[in-house]
Amino acid sequence: MKKFVSVAAFLTSLLLVFSCGQRLPKTADLLITGGTVYDGSEKSPVKADIAVVGNKIVYVAPAKADIVNRCAAKRTINAEGYVVCPGFIDPHDHLEPTLLKDRANESYLRMGVTTVIPGMCGGSRYPIGDFFAKLEEQGIGTNVASFTGHNTIREQVMGDEARYATPEEVEKMKELVRQEMRDGSLGLSTGLFYVPGCFSETSEVVELMKEMGKMGGMYTTHVRNENKFNIGLVNSIREALEIGKAAGVPVNISHIKCLGRSEWYKADSVISLIESYQQQGMKVTADQYPYLASGIGMASALTPAWCRDGGTKAMRERFKDPELLARIKAEIPDILYERGGAETIYISKNAGEYSQMTLAEAAAKMKKSPVDAIIELLSDKTKSPYLNTFIANEEDLTKYMKQPWVMSCTDGSFGSHPRAAGTYAELIKQFVVEKRVLTLDRFIRRSTGQVAETYGLKNRGFLRKGCFADITIFKPEEVVPHASYADPTLFATGFKNVIVNGEIAVENDVYTGTLSGMVLRHEVK
Ligand SMILES: [Zn+2]
One domain for residues 131 and 276: yes
In whole angstroms, what is the distance from residue 87 CA to residue 472 CA? 5
| Residue 208 burial class via C-beta count within 10 angstroms: exposed 0-12, middle 13-18, buried 19 and up | buried
One domain for residues 161 and 97: yes
Length of the chain: 525
CA dihedral 296, 299, 304, 310 (to 10 degrees): -120
Is residue 20 in a domain?
no
Residue 477 Cα to ligand 1 midpoint, Å, equals: 31
Residue 296 Cα to ligand 1 midpoint, Å, equals: 9
Residue 188 Cα to ligand 1 midpoint, Å, equals: 13
The bridge status of strand 346-349 relative to strand 386-390 is antiparallel
Is residue 501 in a domain?
no
Per the omega criterion (within 30 degrees of 0), is the bond before 127 cis?
yes
Residue type, 249: V
One domain for residues 381 and 269: no
- Judge contact between 372 and 363, C-beta under 8 A: yes
Residue 30 Cα to ligand 1 midpoint, Å, equals: 39
Look at residues 409, 441, 462 and tell me which one is the last residue of a structural domain.
Answer: 462
How far from the centroid of its chain's Cα atoms is residue 449's Cα?
14
Task: Give, as one character, the DSSP assignment of residue 52.
Answer: E
Query: How far is the first Cα of the chain from the last one, in angstroms, to the nearest whole number?
Result: 47
One domain for residues 114 and 220: yes
What sign does the CA torsion over 136, 138, 143, 144 have? Answer: negative
Residue 512 Cα to ligand 1 midpoint, Å, equals: 32
Look at residues 352, 368, 390 and tell me which one is the last residue of a structural domain.
Answer: 390
Is residue 47 in a domain?
no
Residue 255 Cα to ligand 1 midpoint, Å, equals: 7
Is residue 196 in a domain?
yes
Q: What are phi and psi of 265, to 5 degrees?
A: 65, 25
- Number of alpha helices (DSSP H) and beta strands (DSSP E) in the chain: 19, 22
Is residue 81 in a domain?
no
Residue 94 Cα to ligand 1 midpoint, Å, equals: 9
Domain span including residue 340: 295-390
Per-residue tens of pLDDT for the chain, all 525 residues: 444 445 444 444 444 444 456 899 999 999 999 999 999 999 999 999 999 999 999 999 999 999 999 999 999 999 999 999 999 999 999 999 999 998 999 999 999 999 999 999 999 999 999 999 999 999 999 999 999 999 999 999 999 888 999 999 999 999 999 999 999 999 999 999 888 898 899 999 999 999 999 999 999 999 998 989 889 999 999 999 999 999 999 999 999 999 999 999 999 999 999 999 999 999 999 999 999 999 899 999 999 988 988 889 999 999 999 999 999 999 999 999 999 999 999 999 999 999 999 999 999 999 999 999 999 999 999 999 999 999 999 999 999 999 999 999 999 999 889 999 999 999 999 999 999 999 999 999 999 999 999 999 999 999 999 999 999 999 999 999 999 998 999 999 999 999 999 999 999 999 999 999 999 999 987
Residue type, 355: S
- What is the helix (H) or strand (E) element at residue 294, kind and residue range? strand 293-297
The pocket of ion ligand 1, defined by CB under 5 A, consists of: 121, 222
In whole angstroms, what is the distance from residue 294 CA to residue 411 CA? 9
CATH code for the domain in which residue 181 is found: 3.20.20.140
One domain for residues 357 and 454: no
Is residue 147 in a domain?
yes
One domain for residues 132 and 170: yes
Per the omega criterion (within 30 degrees of 0), is the bond before 481 cis?
no
The bridge status of strand 83-86 relative to strand 386-390 is unpaired
pTM over 0.85: yes
Is residue 482 in a domain?
no
One domain for residues 345 and 211: no
* Total of domains in the chain: 2
One domain for residues 117 and 212: yes
Look at residues 425, 447, 462 and tell me which one is the last residue of a structural domain.
Answer: 462
Residue 77 Cα to ligand 1 midpoint, Å, equals: 39
Is residue 179 in a domain?
yes
One domain for residues 206 and 130: yes
Residue 121 Cα to ligand 1 midpoint, Å, equals: 4
In whole angstroms, what is the distance from residue 5 CA to residue 44 CA? 24
Residue 354 Cα to ligand 1 midpoint, Å, equals: 25
Residue 294 Cα to ligand 1 midpoint, Å, equals: 9
One domain for residues 220 and 114: yes
Rounded-to-5 percentages of helix, strand, coil across the chain: 40, 20, 40
